[in-house]
């Protein structure tokens, strides 16, 4: 993959994450505690593997490579700190990420208690949280591809 192809892929994936973030924001308007988090997990379980797959970095795609290429990818994953690249995305993995974002999740739940404006705040936090997690994954996938294909420092 060339730098230009990877840049286009990155841009296309960011459009995908914007759609996911709007879905998350919509779930943020539901006044029941926990519904938005459950929705975010469901969205991310679908979106993150799509991103990995587009970059050729899904677990299945990596497993099908020859040993030399797999080792290069695993080294690049480690270098990039890309904890979700090449893995099957599960609810438990996502809950760990959400725990690291604990303030945002707590803020979302507290904001829902404030009539009208709280719903807007919760939706905004939902949107931003989804963009942060998904864009982090895109950037990590891009970093791995750049490292493996030798255009990281061009």
Chain segment 115-127, per-residue pLDDT in tens? 677 777 777 888 8
24-49: pLDDT as tens digits? 888 877 766 667 778 888 899 999 99
Q: Please state, for a pLDDT cut of 70, what percent of the chain lies above it.
A: 83
- Average pLDDT, rounded, for the chain: 82
> Domain locations in the chain?
3-148
| Cβ–Cβ under 8 Å, residues 2 and 149 | yes
The rounded distance, in Å, linking the Cα atoms of 145 and 151 is 9
Instruction: Return the pLDDT at 120.
Output: 77
pLDDT, residue 33, reads 64
């Amino acid at each position: 993959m060339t730098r230009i192809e990877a840049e286009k892929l990155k841009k296309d994936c960011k459009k995908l994450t914007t759609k996911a973030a709007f879905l998350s924001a919509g779930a943020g308007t539901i006044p029941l505690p926990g519904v938005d988090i459950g929705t975010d997990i469901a969205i991310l379980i679908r979106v993150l593997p799509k991103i990995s797959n587009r970059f050729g970095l899904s677990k299945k795609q990596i497993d099908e490579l020859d040993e030399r290429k797999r080792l290069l990818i695993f080294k690049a994953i480690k270098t990039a700190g890309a904890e979700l690249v090449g893995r099957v995305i599960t609810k438990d993995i996502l809950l760990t990420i959400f725990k690291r974002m604990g303030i945002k999740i707590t803020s979302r739940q507290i904001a829902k208690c404030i009539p009208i404006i709280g719903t807007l705040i919760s939706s905004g936090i939902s949107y931003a949280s989804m963009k942060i997690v998904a864009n982090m994954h895109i950037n990590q996938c891009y970093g791995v591809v750049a490292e493996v294909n030798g255009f990281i420092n061009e």
